[in-house]
Structure 1
Amino acid sequence: WGGENAWRWMLAVEAVPALIFTAMCFSLPFSPRWLIAVKKDPAAGMSVLKQLRPEASDDDVQKTVDEIVASVRAESDLTPAEPFWSRRLFTPISIAFLVAFFNQLSGINAVLYFSPRIFELAGMGEQAALLQSIGIGVTNLIFTFVGLYLIDRLGRRTLLLIGSAGYVLSLGTCAYAFQSETFSIVPACIFAFIAAHAMGQGAVIWVLISEVFPNEHRAAGQSLGSFTHWIFAALLTLVFPAVVETFHPAAIFGFFCFMMVLQGLWVITMLPETKGISLEQMEAKLGIRV
């Protein structure tokens, strides 16, 4: 298991959850909107809606189906299609950009990719630092499932607020720990940070982006969010080693903490809740439908 083949086992074990995920995908239902718009089968769409919203009455489900049918008809009359970069889509574009931007400016990928180095800065030996990195992966896995459980119960906005509070507390405490050289609490701070991310931003980002764009612009919106996310991830990964050599760890974690304060203010003042709201209702809420 160890020795020169250790890295092979580390990669091989990832195939197990990937296979489980692939198998579970076969049980996923088709999207109600896809069934109605592409398959022209409103009855099948209504059946899936009832599975997704068991608490809704038949009248509410029928109303949602009617809204989707009306939206699909309206979209078919749009010739030529409206450009993605238009004033009408300013709000969803801003949401997609900012949620991806804040996702990376939390420092999540810096912590995930360079956790052994961070633990070494806290005075741990190389072997202990690597073992702590395993704890990060376990924490991320557990709290990802917590986020998946809560996202349709508490809502996307609420999870982002909870995550923002967790970010600020964990990152702020971590900055204090490095400043005061109270290194013993650094692992707990890092684990709390990972938990806050997994059940907050990590669970919400891609769901939120898919819910704020009209159907004809959803793919472009997802692409914008993905582009923003990975560009900032690459930049952060590129500069972080140099930043660690230049600045005190307390300043680095303090910066990430400040960015998460800004995220919390953005969520409170500007971000709408998308839980339980159809695409048609969301378009009206964001001022996209006229």
Structure 2
Amino acid sequence: MTSYQFAAVRYAAIVAFGGFIFGLDAALISGVVRDVTEVFDLSAFQVGLVVGSPGYGVLFALLMAGYFADKLGRKKTLQIIASLYVISAVTSAIAPTYETLVAARFLGGLAFTSLSLASMYIGEIAPPKARGKLVAMNQMAIVVGLSAAYLSVFGVHWLSEQETGWVSSLKIDSETWRWMLGVEIVPALLWVLLLFSIPESPRWLVLRGRNEEAKQVLAKLLPPEQCEEELQAICDSSHHGHQDRTVWHQLQDLFSPAIRKALIIAVVIAFFQQTVGINAVMFYAPIIFEQVGLGTNAALFNGVYIGLISVVATALALALIDRLGRRILIIVGLVVAGVSLLSCAWAFSNATYTLSAEALASLAEYLDVSGLQGLLGVTFDSDLSFKAALAEHLGPKLARDNEAVLFQYAATMNSTVILLGVLAFIAAFQFSIGPVMWVLFSELFPIHVRSIAIPAMALVASIVSAMVQQLFPIQLEVMGSSGVFLSYGVSAVLALVLLAWLMPETKGKTIEEIETMLASSKEQIVDNKQ
């Protein structure tokens, strides 16, 4: 690796570390949903709001992210975002009320714009032949963060069950969920410090008329003969009548015929990346595994598998994205995702739930089973009917608080299909549409609209993500597990059809070449021969 390549990798890795913080923030909540629900006595809607509130925060922040990225620069905006992560992590861990927790997580959502800003920054400093790998590092950082979160959740839960003095004195046993959320504080502080060592984006510097500074940054990233050539290409692109454009002019350009094809492709992938249900599966993983009948401990431990598989699949994507290209990863990944999700729906639809005498004897260790005698030997053919019967005989709160152990002793289903289906879906997503979306965002849009276009596409993804997270607990109550996975599977199939038709191949091309390709084509958006 040359010194130029090392510099690009180092800067990309530092910026992508924000993805690690995002992954931590996103997955740590999965371990506290059950505890927070019991502590604050939350309804399904309130549970969705706790989990989904960062999604609402990012909606607000993305409206301003492009403005700040243009006015302050990519580097300073990232530093502000990192500081928000720190404040949110501290406040979440000490939140005294449900409302405070929602507000703290909403504040953290403001920092979720790190994903779009990281994609923007890395795309602007990366050499064309390595852009796919470097931008996809953001996704790798996310899944490493997810994996670290699941390990942390399991580790803190394990500690909370140890009967030792120091565990009690630190209140790890009584305030377990606070310690889980507090895991994020130290990495967030570290990211704030690391961001001081990166340079500003050379493309942003050119847009601000600071060409000499841009040349100095490019000199760290490219050999001298390529440095001048790249600077000239950036200057030419930046001076096509749209230097220092206002937000309004950038929005007008974004919807112009020259950029319309890129916009359509980006909107489609942003929408369907979330409707396949990835954030519902990742953020509510323990709840989903409890529906399979695994119990709380096993459900938390299976989250560790999700994290590890995510890391392996994303690493494979990084190795192949600049070799095979973006299209093939999308197509293969969505085929596997669709089959996996529909298999889970089928397995849940064939599940039955019966409380036997042996099950009641085991359940007596956890709760008063006298109210369950009327359900002895009764078989239910769906989780919906079983939950309704439990609520009727035990009361809604007692049934909800003991749902994990009740499902553990009553559920009969093909759990292997569901577990493998969930893990295969996670792997397929992290291999394809997960990293590819951010790579495409960094490639499709020309420099003069990037500070508006990339946050705008992240806004589309965030709106859909917030809806998916908010609705999952309600869907589970109304549609049952089978209906939820069926809706995600159908979405994956639709995504496959549309993206196979719309999506061009962009590997190996500069941002300026992609702009020319999309703007000058008179044919369909997709040219499979490219």
Does TM-score exceed 0.5, indicating one fold?
Answer: yes
State the Cα distance separating 1:232 from its structure 2 match.
Answer: 1.0
1:27 to 1:177, Cα distance in 2 relative to 1, 3 A: farther
List aligned pairs for 1:130-279, cutoff 5 A.
130-180=300-350, 181-279=413-511
CA distance in 2, matches of 1:76, 1:176: 53
Name the Cα RMSD after superposition: 3.2
Of residues 204, 218, 238, the one that matches 1:72 is 238
Of residues 128, 131, 134, the one that matches 2:298 is 128
Question: Gaps (5+ residues) in structure 1?
Answer: 52-57
State the Cα distance separating 1:136 from its structure 2 match.
Answer: 2.1
Name the % identity. 33
Of residues 156, 178, 182, the one that matches 1:12 is 182
Of residues 270, 273, 276, the one that matches 1:106 is 276
State the Cα distance separating 1:179 from its structure 2 match.
Answer: 3.0
CA distance in 1, matches of 2:191, 2:509: 27
State the Cα distance separating 1:111 from its structure 2 match.
Answer: 0.8
Question: Gaps (5+ residues) in structure 2?
Answer: 1-158, 161-172, 351-412, 523-530
Which segment is superposed worse, 220-229 or 66-75? 66-75
1:281 correspondence with 2:513: yes
1:23 to 1:238, Cα distance in 2 relative to 1, 3 A: same
Of residues 259, 266, 288, the one that matches 1:89 is 259
CA distance in 1, matches of 2:433, 2:185: 25
Contact 1:31 1:48 in 2 (8 A): no
CA distance in 1, matches of 2:320, 2:198: 19
1:272 to 1:24, Cα distance in 2 relative to 1, 3 A: farther
| TM-score normalized by the length of structure 1 | 0.82
CA distance in 2, matches of 1:152, 1:44: 27
1:275 to 1:232, Cα distance in 2 relative to 1, 3 A: same
Which segment is superposed worse, 131-140 or 220-229? 131-140
1:198-246 CA-partner distances (Å, limit 9, x unpaired): 2222212222112111212112111221211111111112222222222
CA distance in 2, matches of 1:132, 1:140: 13
SS in 1 for 2:294: coil
Determine the structure 2 residue equivalent to 1:54: none
1:231-276 CA-partner distances (Å, limit 9, x unpaired): 1111112222222222243332222122112212222211112222
CA distance in 1, matches of 2:460, 2:434: 15
Give the greater-gyration-radius structure (CA): 2
CA distance in 2, matches of 1:177, 1:219: 44
State the Cα distance separating 1:10 from its structure 2 match.
Answer: 2.0
1:66 to 1:4, Cα distance in 2 relative to 1, 3 A: same
Contact 2:199 2:217 in 1 (8 A): no
State the Cα distance separating 1:102 from its structure 2 match.
Answer: 0.5
CA distance in 2, matches of 1:35, 1:241: 46
Number of equivalences = 284
CA distance in 1, matches of 2:460, 2:215: 38
CA distance in 2, matches of 1:263, 1:273: 17
